[in-house]
């Protein structure tokens, strides 16, 4: 199940807000569609990014997929664990498989994204 | 039932390094008839190695047998159907090879004086003329060395042409049914990619396009027929929409095998396009390459074509470097000359009627397979198929591997991305009805196996030298270096 306390995008990313920082990852649905993930390409800390823009990519045996940031701001930390163990993304997409932490430049953005229920409804229409 | 092939033993093969034994040699030198010289005196001791590490010492027959045996592990178009969708794996006629091995062409050197290269110039000019005629365009450059190189050259031409008008613009539209290299070429040329979705018929959504096109759009990069094997019915309308906003239409001509000799992109509004000579025009493909991706343009784009251009005067052919608006050189010399010779041989052997017939046969073969398979596999889109057809199946990867046990090269798997479980099949005109029937029988039989014995399919291939490989481990922990 997609956690209730996160916000989601139609591009299958999630964001969890902790203070003025947004933690970003890809959804369980996304990792399952991609299959075994073998490589993750992430931005450098300090990069300033804008909502909806590409910040990196996730590569599986099947395909390479862009990651679009759900929020704007400055990258303050990237998940180094994924370099060594990209499979973490498959195992724990909402926990240790997070991608980047972004210092939010517009704290109002997350609330405008999809709720867990809205995201599930969207996934339902997309896969039917 | 597997009827086309049966297993036959092949020898376990060591690397040449492992076969090596000290002192073994594949040559015998004549007796020295001059005074011996110490290399250290002649070259300086610091320039002479004390030992050469790990050079295999083997005989001639060791080497010949090693590589001949390795060659029998391959699957090739010369062995059977090679239905990789979007790749146009057609037979490479041997007449192409005979022509390319003509002594004067085989030993020609790019630094040979122009006066001694007039025949080569004429071949290049004739090929440019033929490709312009086939595409309905006005001028062609043969320089780009492959399809994606042609794409990049094309988008650089778009940029140069728009810059000359004062505004290079910012974005290029790429439909979601385009070739995967298109967005990469757009980015490399410094543009942003704007995606436009396909409609439920597998064609570009014209209404969505109208909403997307504005003065920031430099061009659209459209593959036609697209990667679903569907002809973009509204291509002329698409061109009108782009042109009305001052943008250009780039066509990815990778699927030209559906059009050559029948339909000319230049006649329905395309401003520039590339061709893949290693697809449509039968030159060797992939590892057998090199490739070739000529770019054809309409008159207004001609001044921007890469340097140099062919020019003809009463004194003969020569290169023209005096072209101030050119984007410059995109490759050393003038493309992969040997490949260009083969493509012209193919075009001239066919003639217009022959190209037309080959294209119709390619369409017929794809549609014949579609009919045979439609009741066993779900077709992704119901629009008419051109030179390839796309089915979908949840086990598309496993079925592809199982096809190897049946003696066939797999189809293209999981592409285009807009089809979940895509199975993209392009037989080309090369195949006979017998071969197509065997292939369809194999896929029908596998569909049955998926229902009755899914384990057999999911663990395939079984009869190959190497059985199912762990692709995940290979990608996550690749071993890139040989160690003893």
Domain contains B256? yes
Residue B294 has pLDDT above 70, yes or no: yes
Same domain as B224, residue B369: no
Cα–Cα distance measured from residue B254 to residue B291, given in angstroms and rounded to the nearest whole number = 12
Is pTM, for the whole model, over 0.80?
Answer: yes
Mean pLDDT of B298-310: 98
B394: nearest CA in chain A?
Answer: A33
- Give the model confidence (pLDDT) of B160-203 as tens digits: 999 999 999 999 999 998 888 999 999 999 999 999 999 999 99
Q: Residue B53: pLDDT band by 50, 70, 90 thresholds?
A: confident
Same domain as B125, residue B49: no
Cα–Cα distance measured from residue B269 to residue B244, given in angstroms and rounded to the nearest whole number = 12
| Torsion over CA: A80, A82, A83, A84 (sign) | positive
CA of residue B396 relative to chain centroid, distance: 23
Look up the ipTM and state it: 0.74
Domain count, chain B: 3
Q: Of residues A19 and A125, which shows the higher confidence score?
A: A19
- Give the model confidence (pLDDT) of B376-389 as tens digits: 999 999 999 999 99
A84: nearest CA in chain B?
Answer: B476
**Taking all residues of chain A, what is their mean pLDDT, rounded to a whole number?**
93
Same domain as B166, residue B63: no
Same domain as B102, residue B50: no
Q: Residue A113: pLDDT band by 50, 70, 90 thresholds?
A: very high
Cα–Cα distance measured from residue B139 to residue B132, given in angstroms and rounded to the nearest whole number = 6
Instruction: Give B-chain residues touching A36 at CB under 8 angstroms.
Output: 471-472, 475
Of B27, B56, B71, the residue that ends a domain is B71
Instruction: Give A-chain residues touching B397 at CB under 8 angstroms.
Output: 62
DSSP B26-91: S--PPPP-S----HHHHH-GGGS-S--TT-----HHHHHHHHHHHHTT---TTTS---BTTT----
Asked if the Cβ–Cβ distance from B414 to A63 is below 8 Å, we say yes
| CA distance, residue A36 to nearest chain B CA (Å) | 7
Same domain as B381, residue B280: no
Same domain as B270, residue B168: yes
Q: Residue A128: pLDDT band by 50, 70, 90 thresholds?
A: very low
Same domain as B272, residue B157: yes
Asked if the Cβ–Cβ distance from B472 to A61 is below 8 Å, we say yes
Domain residues for the domain of B443 are 353-473
| CA distance, residue B4 to nearest chain A CA (Å) | 29
* Residue A19 three-state SS: coil
Mean pLDDT of B220-226: 96
What is the pLDDT, as a whole number, of residue B287?
A: 66
Residue A2 has pLDDT above 90, yes or no: no
Instruction: Give A-chain residues touching B475 at CB under 8 angstroms.
Output: 36, 38-39, 59, 61
B476 touches chain A (CB under 8 A): yes
- Give the model confidence (pLDDT) of A20-72 as tens digits: 999 999 999 999 989 999 999 999 999 999 999 999 999 998 788 899 999 99
Q: Of residues B54 and B159, which shows the higher confidence score?
A: B159
- CATH code of the domain containing B436: 3.90.1150.10
Dihedrals φ, ψ of B374, to 5°? -55, -35
Domain contains B7? no
Same domain as B154, residue B197: yes
Q: What is the DSSP letter of B102?
A: -
Cα–Cα distance measured from residue B447 to residue B461, given in angstroms and rounded to the nearest whole number = 15
Tokens of B373: 């398979």
Residue bearing tokens 């019915």:
B233
Tokens of B411: 């189809």
Q: At a CB cut-off of 8 Å and minimum separation 6, what does B282 contact?
A: B90, B91, B92, B93, B96, B342, B343, B346
Q: Residue A126: pLDDT band by 50, 70, 90 thresholds?
A: low
Would you identify the CATH topology of the domain A21-108?
OB fold (Dihydrolipoamide Acetyltransferase, E2P) (2.40.50)
Mean pLDDT of B117-139: 98
Asked if the Cβ–Cβ distance from B472 to A62 is below 8 Å, we say no
What is the pLDDT, as a whole number, of residue B263?
A: 97
- Domain locations along chain A: 21-108
Domain contains B393? yes
Mean pLDDT of A93-99: 96
């Amino acid at each position: 199940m997609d956690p209730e306390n996160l916000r989601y995008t139609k591009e299958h990313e999630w964001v969890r807000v902790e203070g003025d920082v947004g933690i970003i990852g890809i959804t369980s649905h996304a990792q399952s569609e991609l299959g075994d993930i073998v490589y993750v390409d992430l931005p450098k800390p300090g990069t300033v990014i804008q909502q909806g823009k590409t910040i990196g990519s996730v590569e599986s045996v099947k395909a390479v997929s862009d990651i679009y940031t759900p929020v704007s701001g400055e990258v303050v930390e990237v998940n180094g664990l994924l370099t060594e163990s990209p499979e973490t993304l498959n195992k724990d997409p909402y926990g240790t498989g997070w991608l980047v932490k972004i210092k939010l430049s517009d704290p109002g953005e997350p609330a405008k994204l999809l709720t867990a229920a809205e995201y599930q409804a969207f996934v339902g229409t997309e896969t039917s | 039932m597997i009827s086309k092939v049966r297993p036959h033993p092949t020898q376990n093969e060591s690397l040449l390094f492992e076969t090596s034994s000290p002192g073994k040699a594949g040559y015998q030198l004549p007796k020295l008839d001059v005074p011996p010289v110490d290399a250290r005196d002649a070259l300086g001791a610091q320039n002479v190695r004390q030992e050469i590490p790990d050079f295999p010492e083997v005989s001639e027959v060791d080497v010949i047998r090693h590589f001949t045996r390795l060659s029998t592990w391959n699957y090739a178009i010369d062995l059977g159907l090679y239905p990789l969708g979007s790749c146009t794996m057609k037979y490479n006629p041997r007449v192409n090879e005979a022509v390319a091995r003509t002594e004067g062409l085989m030993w020609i050197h790019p630094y040979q004086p122009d006066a001694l290269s007039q025949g080569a110039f004429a071949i290049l000019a004739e090929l440019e003329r033929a490709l312009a005629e086939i595409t309905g365009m006005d001028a062609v450059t043969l320089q780009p060395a492959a399809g994606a190189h042609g794409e990049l050259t094309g988008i650089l031409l778009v940029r140069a042409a728009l810059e000359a008008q004062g505004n290079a613009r910012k974005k290029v539209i790429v439909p979601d049914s385009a070739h995967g290299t298109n967005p990469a070429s757009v980015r490399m040329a410094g543009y942003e990619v704007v995606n436009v979705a396909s409609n439920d018929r597998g064609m570009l959504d014209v209404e969505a396009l109208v909403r997307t096109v504005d003065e920031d759009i430099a061009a659209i990069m459209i593959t036609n027929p697209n990667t679903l094997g569907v002809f973009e019915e509204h291509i002329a309308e698409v061109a009108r929409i782009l042109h009305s906003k001052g943008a250009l239409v780039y066509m990815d001509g990778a699927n030209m095998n559906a059009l050559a000799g029948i339909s000319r992109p230049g006649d329905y509004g395309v401003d520039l396009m590339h061709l893949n000579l290693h697809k449509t025009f039968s030159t060797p493909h992939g590892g057998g390459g090199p490739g070739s991706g000529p770019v054809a343009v309409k008159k207004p784009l001609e001044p921007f074509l890469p340097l140099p251009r062919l020019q003809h005067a009463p004194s003969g052919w020569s290169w023209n470097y005096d072209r101030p608006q050119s984007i410059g050189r995109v490759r050393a010399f003038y493309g992969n000359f040997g490949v260009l010779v083969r493509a012209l041989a193919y075009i001239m052997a066919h003639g217009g009627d022959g190209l037309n017939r080959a294209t119709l046969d390619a369409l017929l073969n794809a549609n014949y397979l579609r009919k045979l398979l439609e009741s066993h596999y779900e077709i992704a889109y119901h629009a008419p198929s051109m030179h390839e057809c796309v089915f979908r199946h949840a086990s598309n990867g496993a079925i592809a591997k199982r096809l190897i046990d049946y003696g066939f090269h797999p189809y293209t798997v999981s592409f285009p991305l807009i089809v979940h479980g895509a199975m993209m099949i392009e037989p080309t005109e090369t195949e006979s009805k017998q071969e197509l029937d065997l292939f369809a029988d194999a896929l029908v039989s596998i569909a049955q196996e998926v229902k009755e014995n899914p384990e057999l399919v999911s663990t395939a291939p079984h009869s190959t030298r190497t059985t199912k490989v762990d692709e995940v481990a290979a990608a996550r922990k690749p071993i890139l270096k040989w160690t003893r």
